[in-house]
């Protein structure tokens, strides 16, 4: 038996959620029926590079929750776990454009890649120059059912925050896009599921995960990872931290590096548990000779109500840290002046 959901009509879950976003965030221009969220603030400079991302809904606050000063200019919100269609992405691109071109931040899932590519071609026809940054930070799986190559997961947040700050500084399109590709190259993620999630309107979880087992290396839809193992009787957070950091370090050596670290809940994990995991992650990182420069803990790139977590790291530079620290004002992230 699945847990009831706080919905009025499962078929309108995304539309109604965007109505709620609009009701409590008047600084955003929200089109619930079309599935597009954009900045409505009047102080964007003409010629500023626009920043657009999007994807299937169900990962909140990604992406609509990151629209605002210092991050995205617009987001395209598809149906749950379904890529937005090209017309949605084009509408978001148009809303983000002020004459300096637009960067698309695209997670490496086949539907997203194809639909953003089509939207970029349509935008070009309208005189909007588009550059694409493809995020493929997941170290667990290559060439999955949903991707050619690695999946785009928690590292997307690093890209959106850093590029949002760079765009606010007035940097040109080519420079912002090149910076985004550098952030992707510096970022890696590994996720673990402790339970499955159920999409609105369904009467069963999206995948089978028996009680007492956990899936190592999941994507942000609960798609299969590297392997399934028993949940240890004690030290669950410690084991998740050890497994995640080891997988990341094997792919991208961390010793001697200053790191931006995201300990991300998948939607159904309380902050108390994420903080326990964060302590263990920091222990693992410092034990491997890395240094914690910045950290963010919470539910930022989710998978509906899935229990579990994802560890993401970015090998930082002084420039990236300055851009990370730059002011941001969005529904989900706010700091600085």
Catalytic residue among 59, 63, 104, 300: 59
Is residue 104 annotated as a catalytic residue, yes or no? no
Which class for 196: exposed (0-12), middle (13-18), buried (19 or more C-beta within 10 A)? Answer: buried
DSSP string, 250-273: HHS--TT-EEEEEEEE-BSS-HHH
Catalytic residue among 63, 104, 221, 300: 221
Residue 176 CB neighbours (<10 A): 27
Is residue 59 annotated as a catalytic residue, yes or no? yes
Residue 212 to residue 112: CA distance in whole angstroms: 33
Q: Where are the alpha helices (DSSP H) in 6-109?
A: 13-24, 86-96
Position of tokens 């730059």?
Answer: 326
Mark residue 306 as left, alpha or beta (left: phi above 0; alpha: psi -120 to 50; beta: remaining): beta
Residue 145 to residue 89: CA distance in whole angstroms: 23
Residue 249 dihedral angles phi and psi, to the nearest 5°: -65, -35
Residue 95 to residue 259: CA distance in whole angstroms: 34
**What's the distance, Cα to Cα, between the start and end of the chain in Å?**
47
The catalytic site residues sit at: 59, 221
């Amino acid at each position: 038996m699945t847990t009831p959901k706080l919905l009025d009509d499962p078929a309108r879950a995304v539309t109604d959620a965007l109505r709620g976003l609009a009701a409590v965030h008047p600084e955003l221009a929200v089109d619930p029926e079309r599935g597009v969220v954009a900045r409505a603030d009047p102080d964007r400079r003409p010629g500023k590079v626009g920043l657009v991302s999007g994807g299937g809904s169900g990962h909140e606050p990604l992406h609509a929750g990151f629209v605002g000063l210092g991050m995205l200019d617009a987001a395209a919100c598809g149906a749950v776990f379904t890529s937005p269609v090209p017309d949605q992405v084009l509408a978001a691109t148009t809303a983000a454009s002020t004459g300096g071109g637009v960067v698309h931040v695209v997670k490496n899932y086949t539907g997203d890649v194809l639909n953003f590519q089509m939207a970029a071609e349509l935008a070009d026809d309208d005189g909007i120059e588009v550059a694409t940054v493809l995020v493929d930070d997941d170290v667990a799986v290559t060439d999955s059912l949903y991707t050619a190559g690695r999946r785009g997961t928690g590292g997307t947040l690093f890209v959106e925050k850093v590029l949002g700050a760079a765009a606010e500084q007035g940097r040109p399109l080519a420079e912002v896009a090149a910076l985004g590709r550098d952030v992707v190259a510096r970022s890696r993620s590994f996720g673990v599921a402790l339970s499955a999630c159920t999409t609105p309107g369904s009467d069963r979880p999206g995948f089978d995960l028996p009680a007492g087992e956990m899936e190592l290396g999941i994507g942000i839809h609960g798609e299969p990872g590297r392997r399934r193992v028993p949940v240890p009787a004690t030290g669950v957070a410690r084991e998740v931290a050890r497994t995640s950091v080891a997988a990341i370090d094997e792919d991208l050596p961390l010793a001697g590096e200053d790191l931006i670290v995201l300990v991300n809940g998948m939607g159904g994990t309380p902050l108390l548990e994420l903080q326990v995991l964060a302590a263990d992650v920091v222990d693992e990182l410092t034990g491997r000779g890395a240094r914690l420069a910045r950290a963010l803990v919470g539910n930022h790139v989710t998978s509906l109500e899935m229990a579990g977590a994802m560890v993401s790291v970015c090998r930082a530079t002084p420039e990236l840290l300055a851009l990370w620290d730059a002011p941001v004002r969005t529904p989900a992230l706010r700091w600085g002046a």
